[in-house]
Structure 1
Amino acid sequence: MSSKRIVIKLGTSTITAGSAKISYPGLIDLARQVSILRQMGYEVIIISSGAIAAGRQILAQKDLPRQIPAKQMLAAIGQSKLMGIYTQIFGMYDLIVGQVLLTKDDLLDRRRYLNARNTLNALLSYRVIPIINENDTVATEEIRFGDNDNLSALVTNVLEADLLVLLTDQDGLYTSDPRSDPQARMISEVATEHIPEDLWQAAGGSVSGLGTGGMHTKLSAADLARKSGATVFIANGNTPDIIIKIVNGAARGTKFLPSNSTLESRKRYMLAGVQASTGILYIDPGAEKAIKKGGSLLPVGLVKIAGSFERGDIVRVRSAKLQEIAIGITNYSSDDLERIQGKNSTLIEDIVGYSYGDEVIHHNNMMLV
C-alpha cells in the first residue's frame, strides 16, 4: 500500500495483553514492528492508553476507582512509568520517542490546534515517534475526548495520516458480539460512504473492563478518520506482526475505505471557512505565476493586506488586477504580515521574533479558485 504516515492506537487491553499489568513482551514486539516500518519509509504516530493501568500496577490497586480525581491521580503516577517503558524499549531499536499529552481543547481551539500540529510535525521531521495520550491529569468532563479511539481519529485528521490502525482484543468488527453469539460473522471491509445502521447496532461496549472504549467508539473513530481521507483498520493487537501484515495487505480484520480523499477533505474545509473570512492578500505578478504553477505564497510576493485575521484563518488571495485566484490557510496573522510583506523569508524571525515557516500560505494549504 502507498500509506506513508500511520497512526497506531493501542488500547489498554492490548498494552496489558489482557492482564492487570503492562506487557513488556507486547511492547517489545510493537517496537520491533515500528522499527521495520521506519526502515520501509513510514512515519509512525502512536496513541497509547495505559497510564491509569500503569498507575494501578504501581499502587497494586485491583479495582479501578470511579471518582475522577482518583483516576487522575493514577494517571499522574502511571504516565511517567509508561513513558519510561516506551523510552527504554524503543531505545533497544534505536528509536527515539516523545510524549505529547492533549485535551479536547487543544484540538478545538484554532491556535492550540496549530501548535499541536506543528509540534507533531516537528517531531516527525526529526524522526521522533510521538507517543500521544489524553492529558488525564488535568482533563475535566468538559474537555475530555472520552476515549483514545476518538483522539486517534482527530490526530489522524490533524496530521493528514494515510492509515489509522485501531488495535483491540478482537479480530475486527463483527455482525454481533462473537463472545456471546457463535453465529457472529466478521466484517472484512466497509466501502460504503456511510456506515450501515446494522453495523452501528452490532457494535457493543467494552467487554474487557480494562479500558474506556468499546467497539462502538472504534466505529465512531473509523467514521471520523475515513472522512478526512484515511484508511482505517480494526484488528487484534495480539496477532503476531499485525501491523506489518496490515501494511502488506495480509491481515485479518476490518478495513474501512476512505469516504473522502485527503485533498477533498481539505478543500471542503477551506471552502466552508472562506465564507466567513474577511482577510484578503494582494500579491504581485511573480507570486501569482508561482502559485498557478503549484508553488507556495511567500512574504516577498505580498503587496497589500486587507482585513483582520489570525494565524490559521482562511484568507482570499487576489492578484494585482484584483482577480481572486486562490484561498488558503495563513501561517501568520494580519499584524505579522503587515510587518513582513515584501520581505525575504529569511528575515521573518528577525522582524516578528519567531517563525512558523517561510511560507505565508503553504501550497498544501492552498486551493486555486
Structure 2
Amino acid sequence: MTTADPALRAIECKLDEGISLSLEDGLTLFRTSDIHTLGRLAKTAKERKSRNEVYYVLNRYINSTNVCYANCTFCSFSRGEKDVDRVRMSADQVVAKALETGTNFNQLHIVGGHDPRQLSLDYWLPLMRRFKEQLPHVQLSLFTAAEIDYMARRHRLSYDEIVAQLAEAGLDNVNGGGAEVFSERFRREVCPNKVDAAHWLEIHETLHRHGVASNATMLYGTIETLEERLEHLIMLRESQRRSPGYNAFIPLAFHPDGNALSHHGWTSGLDDIRMFAVSRLMLDNFDHIKAYWMIQGIKVCQLALEFGADDMDGTHGSTDEEMIYHSAGTRSGQYVDDREFRRLIEEAGYVPVRRNSTYQTFPHDWKPEDGMPERALAGAGAV
C-alpha cells in the first residue's frame, strides 16, 4: 500500500515484527500528516487483537455522590458539603437506581468522588455483597485508584489490605479514572490533591495480583505535551508487563464547560482519532481500546473503529444520569440502546459482541433467566 510519509514505513516494520514502539516513534505518529496510513496501521493492530469483533456492554451507570474535595482544576462535577446541588445517595437509593429499569445488564458502573461521608468500607462492603446476592450475573465496576487511595488513607490500611477486602466483597473491575496524565508537572498544576502516578500504578498492580481487573485512562487536551502523553502510555505498557490485568485503555477528551481550564477549549475530531490510533499502536500489550461515546460522541466513536478502537462501551439504563461529563458540557445524550450499538458497529463493517466488564461474552439477546452461557463461564475469573 502507498504510504505518503516515509517515516511510517520503519514503524510499520516494527509493528510487523512485534517490537514495541518508542517515544520517538509515538511522536512521529502524532505529527504525521498521513492520517490514512496511521488509521490503516491502527486498524491492522486492532484486528490482530480482536479480529473483526467490536464490543459493547449492557450497563447501569450511577454517580453515587458528587461531593469531592480533590479540587482538580479540570473538573466541573465536584460539589462541596454546603452546595445546594450536591448529591449523596444512600445504599438503598443506589440499589433502587440500579434496578430501576430491570436486571438485564452485565455491568454496574459506579463513579463518585472523594466524599468523606460515603467513601468508606462501612458503606461499600455491605452494598457490594448486597449486589452480589441480588444480581449474581452482574459484574461490579467500581471506584478509581484515586478513590481507593483516599479510602485506604481514611482506614489506615495498606493497598494490599484494602484491595483484599474489596475483592472478597465481590469487586470485579476498577474504573480507569484518576490517571489524568502521569507527568509530575501536569499533576502539580492540575490535580495536586489526587493520588500521584506511582501510587495510581501501584494500586492497579495490587488489584491485578488479587484477581481484580481494571481499566486505564488518560485525560488529554489541556496543558500536557505530546511527550507527556507518550510517557503516560509507555508507563501503562510497563505496568501491564509487571502485573497483567488491564482490560482496556480509554482516551478521555477534555471537556471545557464550567471549570478552570475552559480556555483550552474542545479537542478536535482529528486530535481524537489520532489519540485512538496512537494509543492502539503504543499499547501493544493491551487487548482493548475503548471509544467511550459519552465523551467523544457516538459519531466520532464509530469513526474510531477505523483508527484502532474495538469497544464502544455500553448502554446506560434509560433513567441513568451521567453527571461528570454532562457537567462539563458534553454534547452526547444520556442513553443509547443496544440495538443502536449493534447497528453502528455493523455499519462500520464489524461484528458486534456483547460483553461484561472482563470481556466474557454473551448472545445479544441473553437474559438473566437464561443462565450463564458457556462462553461467559469459560472466561470466568479471567482478568
Calculate the TM-score normalised by the size of structure 1. Answer: 0.29
Rg larger in structure: 1
Instruction: Considering fraction of residues, name the structure with more strand.
Output: 1
Q: Which has the higher contact order (CA 8 A, sep 6+)?
A: 2
